[in-house]
Structure 1
Amino acid sequence: MQIQKNFQGKDTESNIKNKPLPPGSFGLPLIGETIALAWDIHSFYRQRLKKYGPVFKTHLFGKPVIVFIGPEAFTFFLNQEYFTREDGNPQPVRELLDWDALPLLDGEEHRRRKRLILQAFTPQAFDKYIPVMEQNAAYYLERWEKLGSFTWLNEYRKMCASLSNALFVGRSPGSESEAVGKIMDTFIKGFSAVPINLGFNGYGKALKSRDWLLSYLDRAIAQHQEQPQQDILGVLLAARGDDGSTLTEDQLRREVLHLFFAAYSGFYVALTLLSLTLAQHPEIMARARQEVNQYAADGALNMEKLQKLVYLEQITKEIRRFYPINAATFFAKVKTDCEYKDFRIPKGWGAVAGIHTTMHMPQVFSEPESFKPCRFAPEQFATLPPNSYVPQGGGAKDGHRCPGEDMITVLLKVMAVHLLRRYTWELLPQNLEFNRDLFPTPRDGLKVRFGIYSP
């Protein structure tokens, strides 16, 4: 029998077997702690971190799971010697993603496919997408200027449905694109619904929405093959690996489905939080506006201009660290008995790493509950421990980090520039507590009074 080495370098299998399991609770028979997770996913991880520490056991979706929180634990979780994404995720997640997409893969096939997809998320590719972002921004800014007062979350949902539709399948902004957002919302709700397909319930509706979106993408792929376009789908159709390999049509439709819904939800949540942050911190808004006036006061944007907006980038990073956006990674499976911090990690168990909780560890981020963009000044960002800033996952680019991570930064900068060049806004009376959605946002949707900026 081969003896497995563990994280701390010991090499006796019997020694691992004699180690205790991490602290934690398996919850109720059969259902474990799944209901508590579904009720409030962010509180689930925060409360158990406080009670048990950075590694604990639980029982989710029918199997025992080890949770890892903090930079060191997150790094251990990413070690493919011990963990694999293959068959690691609950059946409902795999079914919603149509069984075959990057979050569900590992090994050489994952790396091959990831490298192809990353070709659509380079600085050169972003220069092709920025005009699309600006066109969508102009369309909705004109609308908001006329409205004067509105609920921004609703407006950002419409805008980001249009933007995702434009970036991924080449559609124009407007009501047709906004309708795709409603289908996307139904699909996303399936990830936190009771995983029983009754057709008319939340999970059943999510599966129908998945099928509609896949058919929609099939039509878009056929159109792009007839008439190539310079959007994300067009780049992915043309992507070639070093060995000449490409994405098959089945792989392409599933990967674009995954990227499409991740972009849509990531876009509208991040933009809502950007607008909330600038309204709540007038000193941050003033400094950001000054930077925009200095480096991007007018004219079309490109990557060269955006890269000069250093303070604005610090704001975008702190938004993704500070707010409870992503609670955890996708799930993995333990490949072999191993050890972490003198705890036994059994083969065959599930595993997951906390994202938001990792970025709120006071040992790394002082005063983690304070919003401080300065913590991401280039010299400070460079000294952060590995896998301490993990808003879209950690590790190498061709690993399990979200391929669209840099695109979120670009979009936030583009939208901030267009807002700060001309507009100002103030919060209206409302409840600013966050809801318990998979991607939490202010309960009242961020009600604002919007108008022209006057120095």
Structure 2
Amino acid sequence: MVIGLLVRYHNTRNSQDSEDLPPGSYGLPLIGETIALAWDNHQFYRQRFQKYGSVFKTHLFGKPVIAFIGPEAFTFFLNQEYFTREKANPQPIQELLDWESLPLLDGSEHRRRKNIILEAFTPQAFDKYIPLIEQTATYYLKRWEKLDSFAWIPEYRKLSASLTNALFTGGSPGPESEAVGEVIETFLKGFTSIPINLRWNAYGKALQSRDKLLALIDKAIIQHRQQPQSDMLGLLLTARGEDGSTLTDEQLRREVLHLFFAAYGGIYISLTYLSLTLAQHPEIMNRARQEVNQYAPSGSLNFAQLQNLVYLKRIAYELRRFYPINAATFFGLVKKETQFQNFRIPQGWGAVGGIHTTMHIPEIFPEPESFQPCRFATEKFASLPENSYVPHGGGPRDGHRCPGEDLITVLIKVVGIHLLNQYNWELVPQNLELNRDLFPIPRDGLKVKFGIYAENPKQKVS
């Protein structure tokens, strides 16, 4: 009887407020559409965009939410006059990110911290990170040579753990850093788990892993203060904002926790899709290899040299448009009632921007299900509508756009150079269907046969 009353109330609510609100559904009583989102977050936004259009209502994590998809809607969602990220995200997300970091802040404090964080994402900073990327890549490439055949995703996770640890704690590639990756993996599972804190369930284990990462960061901060290093943590310790302020150790540990969260997934997902794409498109691989042979045939790399790799940059951009990496932004909150496309946007409701779906609109990106690096030729890229290419959140650099956007491009170029200069690989029979993880990946782990590139002049016998 109680369930029947709830359903009747829920259906009545749907019919009463549907006239001036965006189309959509509140889903089931109490839980809304949260289960559908958790089951497949990319499909959730894709299906509702196809059914309702660029703006629709839903009910997630106990709150009515309006989703904005497409350049015009996404740009509206980024308007800080109407939307804020302050106290906008569900409590489990806030708790996992230790309550206070860039995705959970807004206003003057967000801008202050963001400008400090951006000091670690400049071309000058990248020149300090490139040797770390090369050192880490070389460590694993030599190991893969010996393996010959293997599943690449577990290996890329190890590489990502080692590189993330190198950037944020000064660690070296190998088992110790790979163990940090296992902690991050457990931490990430908390974002799609039932938010009940028990020591033995996924959410409880995620909170324990969060605390382990914070303890690791605390230790690294102390070590870096005693012996300065030129990694990302070293730069963040001395970076200053426009007002001359720095991050306190408490603020720094939380921001580095957020960067651990973003970097680990961003690194292994990007490299997975780079390797998959080049294997599936021999013509793209050959053209990229020719560019690498021309501009980076050997020797250590630097940021200025990477700028010559225009085609590899286009590949890096198209990877993030084509594949379902980020489904949506962090949540926002409607600060004051407004209107969009003649729909009422009520104060106090949640809001979210659809990322991957926005980049698959045929009117903006013709043949969106086709992988085409040429989309990002300079003149074509410049002509795209504002906030149509939003893999890292869109908007200005000092807004809620991910600070690591350019670093991912550097990473793809550096690892791509080493792969294309020295190695070849081919896919073996397997299931390449993507799973339903927070960041979807091929179900069988991307199995490859890996070896020395036969046409590499350094490998030829005279």
2-structure distance, mates of 1:244, 1:52: 47
SS of residue paired to 2:26: coil
SS of residue paired to 1:298: coil
Contact 2:115/2:242, CA 8 A, preserved across alignment: no
2-structure distance, mates of 1:393, 1:182: 27
2-structure distance, mates of 1:241, 1:372: 39
Matched residue, 2:208: 208
The Cα shift of 1:244 comes to 1.7
The amino acid across from 1:309 in the alignment is L
2-structure distance, mates of 1:328, 1:93: 14
Matched residue, 2:304: 304
Q: Does 1:403 align with 2:420?
A: no
Matched residue, 1:291: 291
Matched residue, 1:4: none
The Cα shift of 1:242 comes to 2.4
Q: Does 1:362 align with 2:362?
A: yes
The Cα shift of 1:19 comes to 6.6
> Mapping of 1:369-384 within 5 angstroms?
369-384=369-384
Deviation string, structure 1 residues 8-64 (Cα, Å, up to 9, x no partner): xxxxxxxxx997100000001110000000000000000000111110000000000
> Mapping of 1:56-135 within 5 angstroms?
56-135=56-135
Contact 2:337/2:344, CA 8 A, preserved across alignment: yes
Q: Percent identity?
A: 73
1-structure distance, mates of 2:83, 2:368: 29
1-structure distance, mates of 2:196, 2:281: 44
SS of residue paired to 2:178: helix
Contact 1:320/1:391, CA 8 A, preserved across alignment: yes
Matched residue, 1:229: 229
SS of residue paired to 1:326: coil
The amino acid across from 1:206 in the alignment is A
Matched residue, 2:428: 428
The amino acid across from 1:100 in the alignment is E
1-structure distance, mates of 2:18, 2:155: 56
Contact 1:19/1:342, CA 8 A, preserved across alignment: no
Contact 1:169/1:220, CA 8 A, preserved across alignment: yes
Deviation string, structure 1 residues 131-163 (Cα, Å, up to 9, x no partner): 000001110000000100000000000011001
The Cα shift of 1:251 comes to 0.4
Matched residue, 1:158: 158
Matched residue, 1:5: none
The amino acid across from 1:138 in the alignment is T
1-structure distance, mates of 2:294, 2:244: 45
Deviation string, structure 1 residues 279-331 (Cα, Å, up to 9, x no partner): 00000000000000000001101111110000000000000000000000000
The structure with higher relative contact order (CA 8 Å, sep 6+) is 1
Matched residue, 1:7: none
The amino acid across from 1:294 in the alignment is Q
2-structure distance, mates of 1:57, 1:108: 30
Structure 2: gaps spanning 5 or more residues: 1-16, 456-462
| Cα RMSD after superposing both structures | 0.9
1-structure distance, mates of 2:186, 2:31: 25
Deviation string, structure 1 residues 56-99 (Cα, Å, up to 9, x no partner): 00000000000000000000000000000011100000000000
The Cα shift of 1:363 comes to 1.1
Q: Mean Cα displacement is larger for which, 194-203 or 345-354? A: 194-203
The Cα shift of 1:199 comes to 1.4
1-structure distance, mates of 2:136, 2:365: 35
2-structure distance, mates of 1:18, 1:188: 36
The amino acid across from 1:351 in the alignment is A
Matched residue, 1:9: none
SS of residue paired to 1:58: strand
2-structure distance, mates of 1:306, 1:314: 13
SS of residue paired to 1:247: coil
The Cα shift of 1:261 comes to 1.7
- Which aligned runs of 4 or more in structure 1 are off by greater than 4 angstroms? none
> Mapping of 1:141-156 within 5 angstroms?
141-156=141-156
Contact 1:71/1:358, CA 8 A, preserved across alignment: yes
The Cα shift of 1:204 comes to 0.4
Q: Does 1:319 align with 2:286?
A: no
Matched residue, 2:444: 444
C-alpha spacing 1:445/1:18, structure 2 compared with 1 (3 Å)? closer
The amino acid across from 1:81 in the alignment is E
Matched residue, 1:248: 248
1-structure distance, mates of 2:41, 2:259: 22
Matched residue, 1:31: 31
Q: Does 1:350 align with 2:350?
A: yes
Deviation string, structure 1 residues 399-451 (Cα, Å, up to 9, x no partner): 00001111000000000000000100000110000000000000001000001
2-structure distance, mates of 1:302, 1:18: 56
SS of residue paired to 2:124: helix
Corresponding residue pairs, total: 439
The amino acid across from 2:157 in the alignment is R
Matched residue, 1:44: 44
C-alpha spacing 1:279/1:250, structure 2 compared with 1 (3 Å)? same
Structure 1: gaps spanning 5 or more residues: 1-16
2-structure distance, mates of 1:85, 1:243: 23
Contact 2:328/2:355, CA 8 A, preserved across alignment: yes
Deviation string, structure 1 residues 221-277 (Cα, Å, up to 9, x no partner): 000011111011000000112222110111000000000121011100110000000
2-structure distance, mates of 1:437, 1:241: 36
The amino acid across from 2:94 in the alignment is R
1-structure distance, mates of 2:399, 2:204: 32
* TM-score relative to the length of structure 2: 0.94
The Cα shift of 1:351 comes to 0.1
Contact 1:19/1:344, CA 8 A, preserved across alignment: no
SS of residue paired to 1:250: helix
2-structure distance, mates of 1:282, 1:452: 16
Contact 2:112/2:242, CA 8 A, preserved across alignment: no
1-structure distance, mates of 2:267, 2:442: 15
